Amino acid sequence: MIEREAAVQAVEDQLERDYQQWRAAGVDAMRMAVVDVEEHELVWIVSWTSEEFVRTRNPEFMLAGNGPYLVDRVDGGLHQVGVVSAVTGEWEADYRARIRGLPVRAAVDDLHDALCEVAAARGRVHAVRTLRQRLPMFSPAEAIEYVSALLDGDASARLVAVATKELVEPLNPVLAVGTVRVAGAGALRAGTADAAARAGDEQGVSSNRLIAGSAAPTGAKDCGGAWGCGGWPGGLRRTRLPAVRAGFEYDAGCSVFSGRRCGCGRRTCRVWCCCCGSRCAG
């Protein structure tokens, strides 16, 4: 089991690696520090911000959009989630199913329970009718096959896959868990969420930043998250630039960050807001 001290050390090591990497690249980066550790049954939730803010409490150095790291309590794997996912707890289902490989109850399980209850109370024919009412894309023959196999304890994987596709909402990449380091691995996995990559859209985790000078997103709208949460409009280039200083104001019309500071962290910032598409006012 991974203890609290080991989890803090893992995150501090990662923050130092990021700092050294961008110092070597000529970026005027600031050091980051761990500020809070929360115990969860699956992970240690480790929050961080700039050392300068910890030392001075000056809001100018307070980061925006930097989601916490997650350190697996079993194998020590290092992961990260965006702000929205951290606040809402949406990361947990993804973590259980995809990172840990644990069973997670879904809408298709509720359907199976309902079909079994109908079959027990009113018979198999009524269960078939219930299935077709819920999922009319099934033909009568497919519905009979589905219910019969389900009641016999061996539901058809092919038909269950169809039901799952219809009933289970795909994971929003903004809420996905991003793997930074696999347990025991020395190489970074670029902080990219695996689920997002499989969906065909490279989404960054909360410490990702747009490269300065990127073009404005076409028709960019509220990403449903926060700056740096990974909800970039498709097609923009991304990189893991550290948040250095929060020095610019968002456009007042941005529904997510209205009146809040940009967390891109560069005084010469020319990036665009992922929510409203407006350029930072620097």
- Confidence at residue 170, expressed as pLDDT on a 0 to 100 scale: 87
Strand spans (E) along 40-138: 43-50, 69-72, 78-80
- Confidence at residue 125, expressed as pLDDT on a 0 to 100 scale: 96
* Interatomic CA distance for residues 142 and 147, integer angstroms: 9
Average pLDDT rounded to a whole number, residues 220-228: 37
* Interatomic CA distance for residues 42 and 25, integer angstroms: 35
The pTM of the whole model exceeds 0.85: no
Q: How many residues does the chain have?
A: 282
Each residue's pLDDT tens digit, 248-282: 333 333 333 323 334 444 433 333 344 334 444 44
Answer yes or no: are the C-beta atoms of 64 and 84 closer than 8 Å. no
In the chain, the percentage of residues whose pLDDT exceeds 90 is: 56
Neighbours of 12 (CB within 10 A): 16
Each residue's pLDDT tens digit, 112-158: 999 999 999 999 999 999 999 999 999 999 999 999 999 999 889 99
Please compute Rg for the chain using Cα positions: 23
Each residue's pLDDT tens digit, 29-50: 899 999 999 999 999 999 999 9
Q: Which residues of 142-162 are buried (b: 16+ CB within 10 A; e: fewer)?
A: bbbbbbbebbeeebeeebbeb
- Confidence at residue 184, expressed as pLDDT on a 0 to 100 scale: 65
